[in-house]
Chain A
């Protein structure tokens, strides 16, 4: 039962353009969402998060949007840079089980010159 889905395994974007990574979830009990970035041979690193009481959170070039009615969130990277090339994981948590995150399968972003 895949409660967090990232339906695009890969995405290629030109440097300077916008990257949009999507994530859908099915569990309505999720109340906190996180995005992680992972480079090869490294562990995931936290990027940005959003609480379910908000619909947008911005941090520099990274913005996460949450649409609760659609159970959908997206990560926007503007402008995209070659160093952003990595695998991006969407993760979700609910207060009742704050010990665990439920991860999507990841989207590999390639930013080309």
Chain B
């Protein structure tokens, strides 16, 4: 158990819909990172929040947005969903602002768009 909790574990939704993925970081961790893993692909960095502020942005689509709340949990919002958005979405957390050996991943949310 990494201490990072992601909900839900599985999500099936239709094209055009909007979903929210939730991540609770490890206790005391200030940074949350979101990654997307499509079929047979490596993990692609989407976005990072540090203590409530956006810290870094990767290849995140405009239809996607995220935020980190005062209690440090984070939500990733995916809207106008397309079939190609089907993927595993991972959240990771770390105490500081960089992805280092002390970053821990959650179990992921498997999103299926039909």
Contact = CB atoms under 8 A, between A and B. Distances in A.
Interface residues of B, number: 28
Interface string B48-71: 100000011010000000000000
A46 B103 CA distance: 8
Given A43-B90, A44-B105, A100 B43 contact: no
A105 B41 contact: yes
Interface in B1-60: 2, 4, 31, 33, 35, 40-45, 48, 55-56, 58
Interface in A27-66: 32, 34, 36, 41-46, 49
A100 B54 CA distance: 13
Contacts of B58: 100
Contacts of B92: 43
B42 A105 contact: yes
A43 B107 CA distance: 4
Interface string A71-106: 000000000000000000101010001111111111
A106 B42 contact: yes
Given A43-B105, A43-B106, A43-B108, A98 B99 contact: yes
